[in-house]
Amino acid sequence: MSTDIPTGFLFIDKPATWTSHDIVAYLRRATGVKKIGHAGTLDPFATGLLIIGVGRSATRQLDTFKGLEKTYVATIRLGYTSDTLDSDGVITPASPAGVQSITQEHIESVLQTLKGTQLQTPPMYSAKKIGGKKLYELARVGKVINRVPVPVSIYDIELLSWSEDTLKIRCIVSAGTYIRVLAADIGEALGTGAYCATLRRTAIGPYSTTDAISPKMIVRENWVANIKTLDDQGILF
């Protein structure tokens, strides 16, 4: 392979069911470049923006994006819980009847209480590593270990819609925040239980899904045309 292969970043709109690793593996085949990485994992059930570094120089710069705030749109189902805190887990009725007494004012009040900095415990079904093992690998064999709560920030949270047992929110959060945990916290505060039914990351810092494309649109003949690079101020263009 030629040593003058372009290096830079691709904005990918991750489909549901694909893992972040699936995206990287697919792009390695599509571009012919082996050195590819991503800035921030998305769960398999989630969709949305992944910033992909292509080439050694770009992958070394991925930390530039990992600490940026993230914007998500999530659909939360009330009255039920999930062992994974999302739609991929085992769904169990919690308090479906309790949903009938919930009001929009109550929901919005709870959302407001969740703004700010708080301690959040990483879920067992997550890619976080403890002792060299990913938590979800331990969870799948029935192991539950103590996890140290970490500070996260909920900068903004907004109710977009609410219908029967489903509410839709938009939130802007610090890096490392688990929206699945936030959904469970909302369910606990409402007294109904809840899990995250759908999740979409719409932005990473100033970068949006409006500039992202499906991984299937990347082929050997066009990937270079979709590459973005950093300017002197560290902004992608």
How far from the centroid of its chain's Cα atoms is residue 222's Cα? Answer: 27
Annotation marks residue 185 as catalytic? no
Quote the DSSP letter at residue 87: T
CB 44 within 8 A of CB 89: no
Catalytic residue among 43, 88, 165, 185: 43
Q: Quick one: tokens of 80?
A: 């039920």
Dihedrals phi, psi of 199, to nearest 5 degrees? -145, 130
Residue given tokens 């909302």 in the structure block: 186
CB 45 within 8 A of CB 17: yes
Which of 162, 157, 222, 217 has the alpha carbon at shortest distance from 185? Answer: 157
Residue 203 bridge partners (DSSP)? 71, 208
CB 121 within 8 A of CB 130: no
Rg (CA), the chain: 19
Close Cβ partners of 219 (under 8 Å, ≥ 6 residues apart): 30
Q: Quick one: tokens of 56?
A: 């050694």
Residues tagged active-site? 43
